[in-house]
Amino acid sequence: MPDIPGLLVSFAIPDDRVVLHAISWAASFIGIAGAYMLALNSRISKWGYVVWLASNAGWISVGMLMPNPALVFIQLVFVAVNVFGIVRWFQPPRGLDAE
């Protein structure tokens, strides 16, 4: 039988990094939710880009707290891609009947 308290101690996070880890995990799960929404290819798919923006905000925060400029940079690029996706998916479709 494993020693559960000892196992928990081995995964203990230093006090000054608790918030950083919490934001990292939240941003990860939010990003997964956004990817899932987009993969559904349904009427809620376009909201996946909005959810990804929340994930980007979390990762930008982590990158600034670490500090990790490369993480901040790539997340800012992803913000631009997500804004492009939002513009494309949320604009009304252009048809032959459009005036």
- Predicted pLDDT at 8: 53
Please choose, from the candidates 94, 7, 89, 68, the residue with its C-alpha nearest in 3D space to the C-alpha of residue 60. 68
Q: Which two tokens stand for residue 73?
A: 């940079």
The answer on pLDDT for 94 being more than 90 is no
CA atoms of 56 and 77, how far apart (whole Å):
10
Please choose, from the candidates 25, 21, 29, 10, the residue with its C-alpha nearest in 3D space to the C-alpha of residue 66. 21
| pLDDT tens-digit map of 7-19 | 455 556 666 688 8
Measured CA distances, 21 to 27, 35, 55, 62, 74 (Å) = 10, 21, 14, 8, 19
